Structure 1
Amino acid sequence: MKEAFVDKNTTLTIRDTDVPVPEAGQVLIRVVVSGTNPKDWKLPPLWPVDGTPTNQGDDLAGYIEAVGEDVMGFHKGDKVAAFHQVMKPHGSYAEYAIAPDHTTFHIPAKTSFEEAATIPLAAMTAALGLYQRLKLPLPWNPATDPLPLVVYGGATAVGAFVIKFARLSNIHPLITVAGKGSAFVETLIDREKGDTIIDYREGDEVVRAKIKEAAGGRSIHYAYDAVGEHGSHQNVDAVMTAPGEITTMFLSGDYQPPQGIVIGQTIAGSVHMSPAAGKTLEDIEFGAAFFQFIGRGLSQGWFSGHPYEVRPGGLAGLQGALQDLKAGKASAIKYVVRIGETEGVM
């Protein structure tokens, strides 16, 4: 099969490799569409430490080809999307990929593979942050009183999914910070419930003042920082009331929150960590349940993926996609590739 590997300089190489075999608790998926994520260019300079090029793809949509032992609910030919286990072999930058069964979910016939491939990593990062880290009300037990939530980076894929899930949980007002993707964020929020958008390009002091104004006199105790750089931590903690909690994907190493404000990191890969790795079953089982919830939402029409752009050339198109992600060109969009467009794929 054809498989793409990314080196520490974000240079892509396509090789012929063997089709992997699923182990117990895993499924083998014939990949139709692979998504991309910022981690796909950020991680190679750091891991593996010896600089070995790796298949960095984690978001995929396609058909079940085979299942390992002890897999329930999936059969050859099922249309699925999946979250490949981060930092493990056989990722989505290939004709066939391996994924754990608990991070694989059925997608309806009406959902395109392109849309489905935008969902797994970003949506799970959003869900873990909201519900496992911030402990906010779940969609099936929604909030009954106003609950201000700052979403910094609302046009990012993670930020957009945070908004979608928060609305399902009746969390309002949503105070969203965005920039050139504000028009997209406008389609996600509910102005009638007090949601608003603040343009970070107006400057830090204006952003902080407008966040406080948007809260309508209520204290702000929760924030999801989907940016994690360019002063986002500081802008968020400046408007919060202790006790307050911020969750973010990217922690600034020298950042220290003010007294009474706690900041923690949300890593989607925690849904893959075993108890042997020092992780409890909590995130694993949450991921298993929530991915099925997402699949039901796609089927019933109350959930959707992220806007996407198909990069031509199949696996070869990943080179330009990763370079554009690195250059910060992606706003309110996910880059995806169709594996069948790869030269040499039958």
Structure 2
Amino acid sequence: MKALVFDKSGIENLKVKEIEEPKLGPHDVLIRVVKSGLNPIDYFVVNYIPVKPMPHIPGAEIAGVVEKVGEHVKGLNKGDKVVVYNRVFDGSCDLCLSGKEMLCRNGGIMSVVTNGGWSEYFSVPDKNVFKIPENMNWDLAASLPVAALTSYHALRELEINPNDIVVVFGASGNTGIFAVELAKKFGATVIAVSRKNWLKEIGADYVVGYNEVVEKVKDITSGKMANIVINSLGSSVWDKSLEVLGYDGKLAFFGTLTGGEVKVNLSSLYGKHIKLVGTTGGSRKELMELINLCKDCKVKVWKTYSLEEGAEAVKQIMSENRDGRIMLQISSQH
């Protein structure tokens, strides 16, 4: 079978190779991978992060069809459409037992601590496999395990409610698209910070530019400012994220695309009773909820690449021209 493999860091080393089909244990599921969404994690895996095993197959966001199941697998059958929960977890540490598998003390992210899914077939434990509706399109399916789950988990942690004003920085990015859609599903008023007007089609009540965001939020809220801010970009929008946040507001942040170092004025935080919430990934229960909640979610796809074009697809993750998601078509959709 074919897979995208690199034997040392660097996009130039990412090549399609023939490899052996993975072996199946009694609790494993063999998936024919149909589509994968590209995320910054894939860029860092290929270029910077120490990974294992080597040579290595990247690909953190996986959707496909069940091809074969191990002898002890229940509830999954050949032909089922599925997505993969991409966290390695032992299920027995205190964090797993409290429903936070993404923080497992002995775990990690598939495609970092294990091979990822950029191959025609992918073997994974049955506890990581979730069925999706037959009529769900593959772009949406492949976006659920990382892009959508990250935003859903953050909004759940912030205890969003229908009266909230939510400001989303990086609204046209992988997670931003879903932060906008899901905040709208929760009934909030959503202000997307972006130059992309198509965000109104997926639920943004307002689309405002970075330079005008503080004034616009002030106008829209009659000076009260936002209850919730989502910052998926990092340091470049840190100051503005805090500026648009009102009293008793909550800021969730994940991702450091534009840098991870910031300065914080503590008195301005405690004086406004601000809550800062760092989040990562989400739980299996949340993925299950999301599959149901997001059946009608929309995904803006910018470009779709074949497995052979994988290196080019990884390069484009960081493109300033990117307008929506990048997808990898790994096998046919039927």
Of 132, 137, 140, the residue aligned with 1:107 is: 132
1:205-227 deviations in whole A, cap 9, x for unaligned?
x3222122222333433211122
Partner of 1:67: 69
Q: Map of 1:240-255 to 2, 5 A cutoff? A: 240-251=245-256, 252-255=259-262
Return the match for 2:176 from 143, 156, 159: 159
In 1, the alpha carbon distance for the partners of 2:218 and 2:24 equals 51
- CA change 1:33–1:189 in 2 (3 A) is closer
> Is 1:19 equivalent to 2:38 in the alignment?
no
Aligned-residue offset at 1:81: 2.2
Question: Residue 176 of structure 1 aligns with which residue?
Answer: 192
Shift of 1:316: 1.0
**How far apart are residue 53 of structure 1 and its match?**
4.8
1:305-320 → structure 2 map (5 Å cutoff): 305-309=298-302, 311-312=304-305, 314-320=306-312
Task: Indicate how the Cα distance of structure 1 residues 67 and 256 shifts in structure 2: closer, same or farther if over 3 A, else same.
Answer: farther
TM-score in terms of structure 2 length = 0.79
Give the equivalent residue in structure 1 for 2:96.
none
Alpha-carbon contact 2:217-2:225 (below 8 Å) kept: no
Correspondence for 2:150: 125
Question: Could you tell me the percent identity over the aligned residues?
Answer: 23
Residue identity matched to 2:192: T
Instruction: Report the AA paired with residue 252 of structure 2.
Output: T
The residue that corresponds to 2:117 in the other structure is 92
- Unpaired segments ≥5 residues, structure 1: 138-142, 272-286, 342-346
Cα distance, 1:297–1:245 mapped onto 2, change above 3 Å: closer
The offset of 1:63, in angstroms, is 1.1
Q: Aligned to 2:80, which of 78, 82, 91?
A: 78
For 1:328 and 1:126, the matched residues in 2 are separated by 22
RMSD of aligned alpha carbons = 2.8
Summarize the Cα distance change of 1:320–1:46 in structure 2 as closer, same or farther, 3 Å threshold: closer
- Matched AA of 2:206: T
The residue that corresponds to 1:136 in the other structure is: 160
* Pairs aligned (count): 300
Give the deviation of 1:71 after TM superposition.
Answer: 4.4
SS of 2:62's partner is strand
Deviation of residue 69 (structure 1)? Answer: 6.8
Once residues 133 and 201 of structure 2 are traced to their aligned partners in structure 1, the CA distance between those partners, rounded to angstroms, is 23
Deviation, 1:340, is: 5.0
2:286 aligned partner: 290
In the alignment, the residues of structure 2 paired with residue 93 and residue 162 of structure 1 have an alpha-carbon distance, to the nearest angstrom, of: 26
- What is the CA-CA distance between 1:149 and the residue it aligns to? 1.3
> Amino acid of the residue matched to residue 213 of structure 2?
V
Matches of 1:36 and 1:253 in 2, distance apart?
Answer: 21
